[in-house]
Chain A
């Protein structure tokens, strides 16, 4: 259990949120031209990082808005919270 600082609502309990998996996976622009390998890469393959990972979260029991987060998956420490469409923080 940890606290998440929703960019729209402020600090709330993690149980109010839904994790949406790895962030910054870009939807293919030309889906019809993708090979099976490229589809597998887009749909299934994940970095699954032990360390700082960029991920999407949704405040489903609050404002219901999506946002991004940088979180250390080895100890659940949140490093940064940033809005959808923004670039991931460098540090």
Chain B
């Protein structure tokens, strides 16, 4: 049993200059065999392992990670959490995650800094207004909080927005989900890792998967840089590298991996206390607790695993940001980076069994996976443990690309993909 994090443990450790804190997770060598192995130690993978151990009593499992945990897209996203999706299947999936977020810090005994500061989506033309109103109604029918705001209400909620009718894409209104917000991305990975480790899950870092061993239509184990690991169930949560793992098993996925960029400014005093997203001009901004503006740009349209994006994508986003927020015109940007996102043709994820027995994929989260981390882990764990999807992820099976029953969130998501 790990020592509980609390004000008392903080005081106690202060007396020893914080030098005796217990390690949050161990660094074990891989065993020869596990009941299940999760490939990918990001938020989704660690959450999957956590819920497999917690809810399905599978304790003899491992998470293998090529680099260090949370070092991929978990540490590269813009930390936005919301559930205001148009279609019923998506609303069910993302709101399931949002409900877990609301109690996650307490459940994990780890402060994930979940902040329900609201997410506002702007409308810049008549079609946007119609789409966003439709989405607001759809959200409310699904029990998800949503309100439509006119231009004055948008200005009142976020006073620094330029609502002049004379800008190129004037703000005509917007939607607001108050339960939405942000969380600390690293803390989510670390919190799940600590929780999973406590229940006996082996978290194996610096362990790259090199091959998947099959016996006919069943999996037998994985070849890694730390040797062969035998297992009957493999859950792949490899984000941008999902196709690479799929190729090892002789599978093809409906994915394309593309660079998605984000950037942060120098830290400044609190200036924007919510998250504002704009689909039409593709710009979204929030402010971190450190004071940096966190800005999300778009994806490049070509396949790349380089974790670098094009400068014109960043330039386009900053143009839009400056027109919407002239107050930021003298801000200097501190860091810019790219992550590789795996995008499905319908911009919805895959949480599914495959044609190979014992091989499961949780991928295709594209540009919006962070918000779903707890729900994704919970539903993927259910799918692996029962060899059947939960009713909330049944629509997100891999077979939808054959049946044609797609969950088309391309235009309906809050930001264009």
Chain B residues contacting A75 (CB-CB under 8 Å) are: 306
Tier of interface size on chain B: 20 to 34
Collect the chain B residues with CB atoms within 8 Å of residue A74's CB: 305-306
Tell me whether B252 is interfacial, beta carbon within 8 Å: yes
CB atoms of B303 and A53 under 8 A apart: yes
Q: In the complex, what residues of A have CB within 8 A of residue B311's CB?
A: 1
A74 and B342 CA atoms in complex are apart in Å by 14
Q: Which of A14, A47, A48, A53 contacts B310 (CB 8 A)?
A: A14
Interfacial chain A residues near B255, Cβ < 8 Å: 46, 48
Q: Is the CB of B310 within 8 A of A1?
A: yes
Flag if A73 contacts B402 (CB, 8 Å). Answer: no
Does residue B304 face the partner (Cβ distance < 8 Å to A)? yes
A37 touches B402 (CB 8 A): yes
CB <8 Å contact, A15 and B310: yes
- What class of interface size applies to chain A in its complex with B? 20 to 34
Chain A: interface secondary structure?
mixed
Give the distance to chain B from A31, nearest Cβ to Cβ, in Å: 15
B401 proximity list for chain A (CB < 8 A):
40, 43-45
Q: How far is the CB of B316 from chain A (nearest CB, A)?
A: 10
CB distance from A43 to the nearest CB of B (A): 8
Q: How far is the CA of A75 from the CA of B304 in the complex (A)?
A: 8
Chain B residues positioned under 8 Å from A27 (CB to CB) = none
Closest Cβ neighbor of A2 among chain B residues: B310
Given contacts A46-B254, A73-B306, contact A36 B312 (CB under 8 A): no
Distance in angstroms between the alpha carbons of A39 and B400 in the assembled complex = 12
Which residues in window 276-312 of B have CB below 8 A to A? 300-306, 308, 310-312
Say whether, besides A45-B254, A46-B252, A46-B254, A36 and B402 are in contact (CB < 8 Å). Answer: yes
Q: Does B253 contact A (CB under 8 A)?
A: yes
Could you tell me if B312 and A1 are in contact, using CB atoms closer than 8 angstroms?
yes
> Is A50 a contact partner of B241 (Cβ separation < 8 A)?
yes
The residue of chain A having its C-beta at the shortest distance from the C-beta of B308 within the complex is A76
Q: Which residues of B from 233 to 268 have beta carbons under 8 Å from A?
A: 241, 243-244, 247, 252-257
Q: How far does the alpha carbon of A15 sit from the alpha carbon of B401 in the complex, in Å?
A: 31
> How would residues 36 to 73 of chain A score, 1 for a CB under 8 Å from any chain B CB and 0 otherwise?
11011101111111100101000000000000000101
Find residues 190-220 in chain B having any chain A CB closer than 8 Å to their own CB: none
What is B's interface to A at a CB cutoff of 8 Å?
Answer: 241, 243-244, 247, 252-257, 300-306, 308, 310-312, 342, 345, 401-404
CB-defined A-B contacts under 8 Å, sample of 27: A1-B310, A15-B310, A18-B301, A19-B301, A19-B302, A21-B303, A22-B303, A36-B404, A39-B402, A40-B254, A43-B345, A43-B401, A46-B254, A46-B255, A46-B256, A47-B252, A48-B256, A48-B257, A48-B342, A50-B244, A50-B305, A55-B302, A55-B303, A73-B303, A73-B306, A74-B305, A74-B306
Interface residues of A, Cβ cutoff 8 Å to B: 1, 14-15, 18-19, 21-22, 36-37, 39-41, 43-50, 53, 55, 71, 73-76
With A1-B311, A1-B312, A15-B312 known, 16 other A-B pairs at CB within 8 A are A15-B310, A21-B256, A22-B303, A36-B402, A36-B404, A37-B402, A40-B254, A40-B401, A43-B345, A46-B252, A48-B257, A50-B241, A50-B244, A55-B302, A55-B303, A73-B306
